[in-house]
């Protein structure tokens, strides 16, 4: 097993999983674990986590701009209007993951997202209702390898179950757990990681969507 925290030549200590690539480190430092309440970004991440299934996140991250171009910036209304002709076109797009089921799932999920927003007000309000309460202790509840390595959580199981009932696809509990970690519903930067305090501070400033 790799060291769980790694300190680079500049003296910056990070979670070990991001150290293989500069793009991955930047994602870790600026995005992962920081709270997101924008519906478009939440929808994008759900879709990209679905595309990641069976692959590494770094693979998807390197193709993220291609995905954004292919799916109209993940604007929900525009994706929902995509057709079978778009599916065929994207299956020829070498810049993304050419998986018919995942492409069709993205279009389906956009349509289901519109329904959910009409019913709940926003994706953010629906998703963030499952966020655990932020600890108010100085340590903000230490995150250990045992916590980080868990593949699911009660919250991700509940989110997956609810989305599936609403007709979403590629939203299993493990996929939703990774989504919730990335979007800041949990702060799973390991204790001692330089980004942990920033993520906690961002969560304290967060005004939860209603």
pLDDT in tens, 84-125: 999 999 999 999 999 999 999 999 999 999 999 999 999 999
Alpha-carbon distance values, 199 to 77, 167, 189 (Å)? 30, 32, 8
Collapsing DSSP to helix, strand or coil, 192 comes out as coil
Q: For residues 24 and 16, give the distance between their C-alpha atoms in angstroms, rounded to a whole number.
A: 11
57 classed as catalytic: yes
Which residue in 27, 31, 104, 145 is the catalytic one? 27
Return the number of other C-beta atoms located less than 10 Å from residue 85's C-beta: 8
Prediction pTM value = 0.92
State the Cα torsion 17-20-23-25 to the nearest 10°. 40
Asked whether residue 171 carries a pLDDT value surpassing 60, the answer given is yes
Please write the tens of the pLDDT for every residue from 2-50. 569 999 999 999 999 999 999 999 999 999 999 999 999 999 999 999 9
Which residue in 24, 32, 44, 49 is the catalytic one? 49
49 classed as catalytic: yes
Residue 201 zone, left/alpha/beta (φ > 0; ψ -120 to 50; rest): alpha
Which residue in 24, 57, 128, 168 is the catalytic one? 57
Domains and CATH numbers, the chain: 5-131+141-205 (1.10.340.30)
118 classed as catalytic: no
102, HSE (Cβ side, Cα atoms, 13 Å): 20
CA 50 to chain centre: 10
Q: Among residues 193, 42, 194, 207, which one has the least CA distance to residue 134?
A: 207
């Amino acid at each position: 097993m790799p060291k769980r925290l790694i300190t680079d030549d500049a003296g910056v200590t990070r979670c070990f999983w991001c150290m293989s690539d500069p793009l991955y480190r930047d994602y870790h430092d600026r995005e992962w674990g920081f709270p997101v309440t924008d519906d478009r970004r939440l929808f994008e991440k759900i879709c990209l986590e679905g595309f990641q299934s069976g692959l590494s996140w770094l693979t998807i991250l390197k193709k993220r701009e291609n995905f954004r171009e292919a799916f109209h910036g993940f604007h929900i209304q525009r994706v929902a209007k995509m057709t079978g002709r778009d599916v065929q076109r994207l299956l020829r797009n070498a810049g993304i993951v050419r998986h018919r089921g995942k492409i069709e799932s993205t279009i389906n999920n956009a349509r289901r997202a519109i329904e959910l927003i009409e019913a709940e007000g926003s994706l953010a309000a629906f998703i963030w209702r499952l966020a655990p309460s932020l600890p108010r202790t100085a340590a903000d509840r230490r995150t250990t390898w045992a916590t980080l390595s868990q593949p699911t959580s009660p919250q991700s199981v509940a989110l997956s179950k609810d989305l599936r009932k609403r007709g979403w696809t590629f939203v299993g509990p493990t996929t939703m757990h990774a989504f919730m970690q990335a979007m800041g519903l949990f702060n799973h930067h390991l204790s001692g990681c330089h980004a942990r305090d920033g993520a906690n501070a961002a969560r304290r400033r967060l005004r939860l969507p209603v």
